[in-house]
């Protein structure tokens, strides 16, 4: 497609826009509140996500208390328990992980890493954050609505999600659906920015194959999210219609208290298809940015170029594409044609191949590297181990015959918390320890960081390893209390107490992290512009923290890929991307 | 889920075609230099807004493909249980509305051509005609809803009706959103901005309109049941 009519005067690539053409904040409000600078928006996104994440953390504490000491707490009724489950899951997956990786890391890192002054549509970017905040507020409002938040489970399966008897049927479910719809609108605005910025605002010399893997991960995840979120959007709108206007998209004929409800002819399975068509890519929407970030952390802190860069890029793209054809492996127990089950089991196992390639490449990057066990590196290593663990149980659950007996047990809870909860969170922590010096100009306290890492890492294993065992025993998930089941030995209750003790400890350790964030802001060691001696562009900004417009008068020019560590014959053990080739050196 | 998978296959085709031009086989660790001398891998010369709109249209396309997928699944259930035909009567007004939307698209295309040539009067006329006919389309759609509900086809009376109202409603909202952008472009045109600077806005509007027209034609053929007939004919030919 060649548009010969495009002239030079109105088709200036965004990267070449003069500094004077940038939006400039005039007052405190436009600088810190209604701000169009991606760096400030990133911090707004991150703080909001972490705040709502803390709520979800407290909810998990309450659930664990109930599971360890069933019936001992008068403030946890069965309905409360279901509301805690639902809100914990939804907040963690969507409002924390998705928002933090794409809205937080994406906003901060994309423009800096590709050498742009800002996102290409700063105003839309600002709007994205404010709609996200509104979505969070609507979600929080459901805690205070009559009847409380919805207790339909985080997958919101109809018909029970909107039938009376499910907690939060009156207001909770409406606010939840409205909040998701808002979130998706807000995300789409942000997502357009991330994609087009990578496409159009790369600085001179920054070819796609010179981009750091962090950008590749976030970019691919955003493309996937843009295509997958409409499924959740359509599903939410349809369920809202069912709940408010009496349509029957998902509602079959239901007899309630002896009389037929007005519903009839709808298909609950339709919801499951739409939900998981979004829900499975969502796993990789969270995982791919984590893959990218962890690659950069490992390369930087092992002072070695990433092993198999091309393969890493191809694997990211392959995982992104494959993740759209595996969704029904979440529906093995919903009843399906065995041929479909076979197809989805096959695709599910195939996706393990590019993922395994990535794991091998991380390990081979570490091989004979000059490994610095800094806090970000510890978190990155913790991620690799955890992701492998979670991935292996995924192979169990990807097979239909193994999945069917395990599907409703704690085994599944253990699996997805390892692979999608703990693993990405370790990367988020690692990323924050890594980039905090650039964002604030100060280092996070190392000792507190190591304390935080070891408690979180070992604690997470103390929580989720025994859970696999509980699952194999047949302990069901989603149950308020176990009661007396012949096949569950009394030791399961003891194990539950142990898990709860670990969960409370890990949760408390996160408070150390938040203390560290606040304390280091004022008292942390001054970082300088490039404390980790990293090669990527964000560490080469003229100011730290980067000023508005990122690069001063002239945009950086990129001369090399992002992983020139320990180059033989180089003066230092790293060569920044924007450093020109030395005269006489091999080209 | 066939519709969305076909849509995604098309998107995947575009993505892989684009990626194939980006030298993914390059060995970046061996290449040093300011650009590597590969101009094809620099950002495209298209304006960012156009690429942004293109990406947005992919998102919208995904949404409509999913709605169509859901509709197909619903139809197959209706055929299994023989509870209803899954179709509504097609009011004649829908034909008129379709014609009006085509007119709107043509008018904006005309405005776009005029903007390239710098003929401001024609740009204004094209924008005005496009806007008015799009408004007419929306009003016509509302009248179709009114006719149907007067004939007893209410939103919640059966799933086929629900899908009809939902899909036409979502499409209408997208047209309404486009009218906001068109209004802002129109305001610029009447303020007397040079045609060169207006051109991008007009082109974006035209692109969006053509896309919504295409979506509408697909939806229209589905909701009237032709697409189903067409599939049946193909199936009969194949077996």
Question: What pLDDT is attached to residue A21?
Answer: 53
**Contact state of B46 with A11 under an 8 Å Cβ cutoff:** yes
Task: Calculate mean pLDDT across residues A551-570.
Answer: 89
Q: Is a pLDDT exceeding 80 seen at residue A176?
A: yes
Q: Is a pLDDT exceeding 60 seen at residue A7?
A: no
CA A294 – CA A213 distance, rounded (Å): 9
Contacts with B15 from chain A: Cβ below 8 Å: 223
Task: Calculate mean pLDDT across residues A420-447.
Answer: 96
* Residue A566 belongs to some domain of the structure: no
Tokens encoding A163: 């039938």
* Residue A309 belongs to some domain of the structure: yes
CB B140 within 8 A of CB B191: no
CA B212 – CA B94 distance, rounded (Å): 15
Q: Is a pLDDT exceeding 50 seen at residue A5?
A: no
- If DSSP states are collapsed to H, E and C, what string results for A314-370? HHHHHHHHHHHHCHHHHCHHHCCCHHHHHHHHHHHHHCHHHHHHHHHHHHHHHCCCC
Question: What pLDDT is attached to residue B23?
Answer: 81
Q: How far is A358 from chain B (nearest CA, A)?
A: 17
CB B2 within 8 A of CB B72: yes
Mutate to test the interface with B, among A184, A199, A585 (most CBs of B within 10 A): A199
B194 touches chain A (CB under 8 A): no
Report chain A's mean pLDDT, rounded to a whole number. Answer: 91
Question: What pLDDT is attached to residue B227?
Answer: 67
- Residue A151 C-beta-side C-alpha neighbours within 13 Å: 21
Q: How far is A436 from chain B (nearest CA, A)?
A: 28
Q: Is a pLDDT exceeding 60 seen at residue A478?
A: yes
* CATH number, domain containing residue A345: 1.20.210.10
Contacts with A275 from chain B: Cβ below 8 Å: none
CB B175 within 8 A of CB B136: no
Tokens encoding A529: 């512009």
B188 touches chain A (CB under 8 A): no
Nearest to A231 among B52, B66, B155 (CB): B66
Q: Is a pLDDT exceeding 80 seen at residue B238?
A: no
Contacts with A11 from chain B: Cβ below 8 Å: 45-47
Contacts with B197 from chain A: Cβ below 8 Å: 10
Question: What pLDDT is attached to residue A53?
Answer: 96
**Contact state of A230 with B35 under an 8 Å Cβ cutoff:** no
* Residue A417 belongs to some domain of the structure: yes
CA B23 – CA A316 distance, rounded (Å): 16
Question: What pLDDT is attached to residue A31?
Answer: 77
Residue from A30, A51, A45, A29 nearest A109 by CA: A45
Give the count of Cβ contacts less than 8 A between chain A and B: 186
**Which run of H or E residues covers position A259?**
strand A259-260
CA A310 – CA A371 distance, rounded (Å): 23
Residue of B nearest to A313 (CA): B24
**What confidence category does residue B83 fall into, taking pLDDT thresholds of 50, 70 and 90?**
low
Count of structural domains, chain A: 1
Question: What pLDDT is attached to residue A130?
Answer: 96
Nearest to A246 among B27, B156, B170 (CB): B156
Looking at the DSSP bridge assignments, the partners of residue A256 are: A259
Tokens 């809100």 locate to A87
Q: Is a pLDDT exceeding 80 seen at residue B40?
A: no
Q: What is the pLDDT of residues A120-169, one digit of tens each?
A: 999 999 999 999 999 999 999 999 999 999 999 999 999 999 998 899 99
Question: What pLDDT is attached to residue A1?
Answer: 35
Question: What pLDDT is attached to residue B51?
Answer: 93
Q: How far is B203 from chain A (nearest CA, A)?
A: 11
Contacts with A321 from chain B: Cβ below 8 Å: 12
Question: What pLDDT is attached to residue A226?
Answer: 96
Contacts with B163 from chain A: Cβ below 8 Å: 249
Q: What is the pLDDT of residues B96-136, one digit of tens each?
A: 999 999 999 999 999 999 999 988 899 999 999 999 999 99
B46 touches chain A (CB under 8 A): yes
DSSP A306: P
Going along chain B from its start, the domains and CATH numbers come out as 89-238 (1.20.120.80)
Task: Calculate mean pLDDT across residues A402-417.
Answer: 94
- If DSSP states are collapsed to H, E and C, what string results for chain B? CHHHHHHHHHHHHHHHHHHHCCCCCCCHHHCCCCCCCCHHHCCCCCCHHHHHHHHHHHHHHHHHHHHHHHHHHHHHHHHHHCCCCCCCCCCCHHHHHHHHHHHHHHHHHHHHHHHHHCCHHHHHHHHHHHHHHHHHHHHHHHHHHHHHHHCCCCCCCCHHHHHHHHHHHHHHHHHHHHHHHHHHHHHHHHHCCCHHHHHHHHHHHHHHHHHHHHHHHHHHHHHCCHHHHHHHHHHHHHC
**Which run of H or E residues covers position A221?**
helix A213-245
**Contact state of B28 with A309 under an 8 Å Cβ cutoff:** yes
Nearest to A5 among B25, B43, B116 (CB): B116
Q: Is a pLDDT exceeding 90 seen at residue B89?
A: no
Question: What pLDDT is attached to residue B192?
Answer: 78
Nearest to B55 among A196, A209, A580 (CB): A196
**Contact state of B32 with A13 under an 8 Å Cβ cutoff:** no
**Contact state of A249 with B199 under an 8 Å Cβ cutoff:** no
Tokens encoding A237: 């709108």
Question: How much of chain A, in percent, has pLDDT values that exceed 90?
Answer: 78
Nearest to A265 among B23, B55, B158 (CB): B158
Using CB atoms within 10 A of its CB, is residue A587 exposed (0-12), middle (13-18) or buried (19+)?
exposed
Contacts with A199 from chain B: Cβ below 8 Å: 43-44, 51
CA A124 – CA A145 distance, rounded (Å): 31
Question: What pLDDT is attached to residue B84?
Answer: 59
Question: What pLDDT is attached to residue B86?
Answer: 58
Mutate to test the interface with A, among B66, B69, B113, B202 (most CBs of A within 10 A): B66
Q: What is the pLDDT of residues A532-545, one digit of tens each?
A: 999 999 999 999 89
Tokens encoding A577: 């991307």
Task: Calculate mean pLDDT across residues A179-207.
Answer: 94
Q: Is A260 helix (H, G, I), strand (E, B) or coil?
A: strand
* Residue A581 belongs to some domain of the structure: no
Nearest to B55 among A195, A205, A270 (CB): A195
* Residue A553 belongs to some domain of the structure: no
Q: How far is B236 from chain A (nearest CA, A)?
A: 24
Cα end-to-end distance, chain A, whole Å:
34
Q: What is the pLDDT of residues A481-511, one digit of tens each?
A: 887 788 888 889 999 999 999 999 999 999 9
Q: Considering the entire predicted model, what is its pTM?
A: 0.93
**Contact state of B62 with A226 under an 8 Å Cβ cutoff:** yes
Question: What pLDDT is attached to residue B222?
Answer: 85
Tokens encoding B168: 């036409």
Tokens 């207790």 locate to A151
**More confident of the two residues B157 and A326:** A326
B239 touches chain A (CB under 8 A): no
Contacts of A292 (CB under 8 A, 6+ apart): A212, A213, A214, A215, A216, A217, A218, A316
Write out the E strands in A526-575.
none
How many other C-beta atoms lie within 10 A of the C-beta of residue B153?
18
Q: Is a pLDDT exceeding 70 seen at residue A375?
A: yes
Question: What pLDDT is attached to residue A6?
Answer: 33
* Residue A102 belongs to some domain of the structure: yes
CA A415 – CA A402 distance, rounded (Å): 13
Question: What pLDDT is attached to residue B35?
Answer: 60
CA B192 – CA B194 distance, rounded (Å): 6
* Residue A136 belongs to some domain of the structure: yes
CA B170 – CA A226 distance, rounded (Å): 18
Q: Is a pLDDT exceeding 60 seen at residue B223?
A: yes
CA A532 – CA A438 distance, rounded (Å): 10
CB A330 within 8 A of CB A276: yes
Q: What is the pLDDT of residues A17-73, one digit of tens each?
A: 444 456 666 777 777 788 889 999 999 999 999 999 999 999 999 999 999 999 889
Task: Calculate mean pLDDT across residues A89-117.
Answer: 96
CA A546 – CA A493 distance, rounded (Å): 53
Contacts with A557 from chain B: Cβ below 8 Å: 34
Contacts with B5 from chain A: Cβ below 8 Å: 324-325
Nearest to B58 among A226, A231, A248 (CB): A226
CB A340 within 8 A of CB A328: yes
Mutate to test the interface with A, among B70, B166, B168, B194 (most CBs of A within 10 A): B70
CB B112 within 8 A of CB B105: no
**More confident of the two residues B193 and A523:** A523
Q: Is a pLDDT exceeding 60 seen at residue A586?
A: no
Task: Calculate mean pLDDT across residues A524-553.
Answer: 92
Domain that holds residue A278: 36-247+263-540
Tokens encoding B159: 């799933």
Q: What is the pLDDT of residues B53-66, one digit of tens each?
A: 999 999 999 999 99
Residue of B nearest to A237 (CA): B166
Torsion of CA A413, A329, A86, A470, to 10 degrees: -20
Question: How much of chain A, in percent, has pLDDT values that exceed 70?
Answer: 95
Contacts of A343 (CB under 8 A, 6+ apart): none
């Amino acid at each position: 497609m060649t548009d010969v009519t495009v002239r030079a005067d109105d088709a200036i690539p965004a990267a070449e826009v003069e500094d004077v053409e940038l939006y400039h904040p005039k007052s405190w409000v436009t600088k810190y509140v209604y701000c169009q600078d991606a760096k400030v928006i990133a911090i707004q996104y991150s703080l909001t996500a972490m705040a709502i994440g803390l709520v979800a953390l407290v909810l998990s504490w309450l659930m664990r208390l109930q599971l360890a000491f069933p019936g001992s707490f008068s403030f946890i009724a069965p309905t409360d328990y279901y509301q805690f489950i639902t809100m914990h899951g939804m907040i963690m997956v969507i409002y924390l992980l998705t928002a933090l990786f794409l809205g937080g890391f994406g906003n901060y890192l994309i423009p800096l890493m590709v050498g742009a002054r800002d996102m290409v549509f700063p105003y839309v970017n600002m709007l994205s954050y404010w709609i996200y905040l509104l979505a969070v507020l609507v979600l929080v409002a459901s805690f205070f609505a009559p009847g409380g938040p919805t207790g339909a489970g985080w997958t919101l399966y109809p018909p029970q999600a909107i039938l009376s008897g499910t907690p939060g049927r009156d207001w909770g479910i409406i606010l939840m659906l409205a909040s998701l719809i808002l979130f998706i609108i807000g995300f789409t605005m942000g997502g357009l920015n991330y994609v087009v910025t990578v496409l159009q605002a790369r600085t001179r010399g920054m070819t796609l194959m010179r981009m750091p893997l962090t950008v590749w991960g976030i970019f691919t995840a955003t493309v996937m999210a843009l295509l997958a979120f409409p499924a959740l959007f359509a599903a939410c709108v349809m369920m809202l219609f069912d709940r408010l206007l009496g349509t029957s998209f998902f509602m079959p004929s239901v007899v309630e208290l002896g009389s037929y409800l007005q519903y009839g002819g709808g298909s609950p399975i339709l919801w499951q298809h739409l939900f998981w068509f979004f829900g499975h890519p969502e796993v990789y929407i969270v995982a791919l940015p984590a893959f990218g970030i962890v690659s950069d952390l490992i390369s930087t802190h092992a002072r070695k170029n990433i092993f198999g860069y091309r393969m890493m890029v191809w694997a990211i793209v392959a995982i992104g594409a494959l993740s759209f054809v595996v969704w029904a492996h979440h529906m093995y127990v919903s009843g399906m044609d065995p041929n479909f089950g076979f197809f989805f089991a096959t695709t599910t196992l195939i996706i393990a191949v590019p993922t395994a390639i990535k794991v091998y490449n991380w390990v081979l990057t570490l091989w004979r590297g000059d490994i610095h066990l800094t806090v970000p590196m510890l978190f990155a290593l913790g991620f690799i181990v955890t992701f492998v663990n979670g991935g292996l149980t995924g192979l169990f659950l990807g097979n239909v015959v193994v999945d069917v007996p395990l599907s409703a047990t704690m085994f599944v809870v253990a699996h997805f918390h390892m692979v999608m909860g703990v693993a990405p969170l370790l990367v988020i922590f690692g990323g924050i320890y890594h980039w905090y010096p650039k964002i604030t100009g100060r280092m996070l306290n190392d000792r507190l960081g190591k304390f935080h890492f070891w408690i979180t890492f070992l604690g997470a294993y103390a929580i989720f390893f025994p859970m696999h065992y509980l699952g194999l025993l047949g302990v069901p998930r989603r149950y308020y209390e176990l009661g007396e089941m012949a096949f569950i030995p009394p030791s399961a209750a003891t194990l539950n107490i142990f898990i709860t003790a670990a969960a409370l400890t890990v949760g408390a350790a996160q408070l150390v992290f938040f203390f560290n964030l606040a304390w280091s802001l004022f008292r942390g060691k001054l970082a300088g512009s490039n404390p980790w001696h990293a090669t990527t562009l964000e560490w080469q900004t003229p100011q730290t923290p980067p000023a508005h417009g990122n690069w001063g008068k002239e945009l950086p020019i990129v001369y090399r890929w992002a992983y020139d560590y320990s180059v033989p014959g180089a003066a230092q053990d790293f060569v920044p991307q924007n450093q020109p080739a030395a005269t006489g050196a091999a080209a | 889920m066939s519709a969305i998978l076909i849509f995604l296959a098309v998107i995947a085709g575009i993505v892989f075609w684009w990626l194939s031009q980006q030298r993914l086989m390059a060995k970046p660790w061996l290449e040093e230099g300011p650009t590597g001398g590969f101009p094809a891998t620099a950002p495209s010369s298209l304006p960012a807004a156009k690429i942004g709109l293109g990406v947005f249209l992919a998102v919208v396309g995904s949404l409509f493909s999913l709605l169509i997928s859901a509709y197909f699944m619903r139809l197959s259930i209706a055929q299994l249980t023989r509870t209803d035909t899954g179709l509504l009567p097609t009011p004649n007004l829908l034909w008129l509305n379709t014609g009006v939307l085509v007119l709107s698209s043509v008018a904006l295309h005309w405005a776009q051509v005029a903007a390239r040539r710098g003929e401001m009067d024609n740009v204004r006329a094209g924008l005005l005609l496009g806007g008015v006919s799009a408004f007419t389309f929306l009003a016509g759609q509302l009248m179709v809803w009114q006719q149907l509900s007067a004939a007893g086809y209410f939103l919640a009376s059966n799933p086929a009706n629900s899908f009809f109202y939902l899909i036409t409603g979502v499409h209408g909202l997208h047209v309404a959103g486009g009218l906001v952008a068109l209004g802002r472009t129109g305001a610029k045109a009447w303020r007397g901005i040079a045609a060169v600077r207006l051109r991008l806005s007009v082109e974006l509007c035209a692109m969006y309109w053509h896309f919504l027209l295409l979506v509408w034609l697909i939806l229209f053929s589905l909701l009237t049941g032709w697409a189903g007939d067409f599939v049946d004919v193909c199936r009969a030919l194949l077996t």
